[in-house]
Amino acid sequence: MRLGELIRVGHYHNPYGRHPTPQPIARRTYCIELVTGGRGWVEMEGQWVEVVPGALLWHQQGDYTIGRSDFEDPYRCLSLRVAVTDSAPRPVPRLTWWTKLDAVRRFADEAVLLFASDRMEPTVLRDYIISRLRLQAELYLNEAPRKALPSELQRVLVYLEKHYADPLRMETLAEVAQWSVPHLHARFREELGQSPHQCVIERRIEAARIQLAATNDPIKQVAADCGFSNASALCVLFRRHAGVTPAAYRQRMVVS
């Protein structure tokens, strides 16, 4: 695939109470939609597939953009179009996921701002945006356990990504999946090889790693921001997962 002009970059907000008009993709054009909020559906192979925050859609000629929206929680998405100079198939599957929702929103804001400012050389901006989205698609594809997860489990993981720092009850996660709590545990074990609680802890540890490396926030603050009950709980679990204390990890990340 050889890229041409970056035609448009914008942040689309579907209105309340109505569906969007799906747009056909023109010849030698790609349209990429990165869902940043709300809930919508896209038609794929004759079926309406739900898309929620983190959904990364790569449309090519013959496809249509998102065509349905939740009337009370309409979808929002980063939408961009880029010309291609040949008819090569899309480089990644049409639907993948970018699971780090805070990064999704930051990137969407950055891409729109850079395009609107008109201060960056167009090909540099095009390559940056497309490469970043391609990278996220490839990262998703490399996460083998997530490749064929049931939609119910996908919803739970999206919910966990958004709420990992909040107090979480298994009943709430089961409600998101519309499963019973025992069935939720069984499917987590079957599909991911871990319990829902272990999945939450891993995500909190990952967030703590980032905050420890990127800030000088006190350990107590890191614990609170990442969903741990107190600093002691963070220290115990962090050492169990990372092999070092939070303080030692931070020291190791300092560039001398």
- Full DSSP string of 14-61: PPTTS---PPBPPTTEEEEEEEEESBEEEEETTEEEEE-TTEEEEE-T
State yes or no: pLDDT of 248 exceeds 50: yes
CA pair distance 57, 62, nearest whole angstrom: 14
Mean pLDDT of 84-101: 84
Share of the chain above pLDDT 70, in %: 95
Local confidence band at 118 (pLDDT 50, 70, 90 cut-offs): confident
CA pair distance 75, 157, nearest whole angstrom: 18
| Residue 182 parent element (H or E) | helix 181-192
More confident residue, 86 or 243: 243
Mean pLDDT of 175-190: 93
> pLDDT value at position 241?
86
> pLDDT value at position 223?
96
CATH code that applies to domain 3-142: 2.60.120.280
Domain with CATH 1.10.10.60 in the chain: 151-253
pLDDT tens profile 63-86: 999 999 999 999 999 999 999 887
Task: Report the interhelical angle of 181-192 vs 170-177 (nearest 10°).
Answer: 80
CA pair distance 80, 58, nearest whole angstrom: 10
Mean pLDDT of 40-45: 92
> pLDDT value at position 256?
45
State yes or no: pLDDT of 145 exceeds 60: no
pLDDT tens profile 192-235: 888 999 999 999 998 999 899 888 999 999 999 999 999 999 99
Q: How many H helices and E strands in the chain?
A: 9, 8
Distance from CA of residue 184 to its chain's centroid?
22
Residue that the structure tokens 């356990």 belong to: 145
> pLDDT value at position 85?
80
Distance from CA of residue 205 to its chain's centroid?
18
Domain with CATH 2.60.120.280 in the chain: 3-142
> pLDDT value at position 171?
95
> pLDDT value at position 252?
83
Lateral strand order in the sheet of 40-44: 47-51, 40-44, 68-69
Share of the chain above pLDDT 90, in %: 68
Nearest to 70 by CA among 32, 31, 13: 13
Mean pLDDT of 2-20: 94
Mean pLDDT score of the chain: 90
Local confidence band at 133 (pLDDT 50, 70, 90 cut-offs): very high
88: which DSSP letter?
P
Homologous superfamily assigned to 151-253: Homeodomain-like (1.10.10.60)
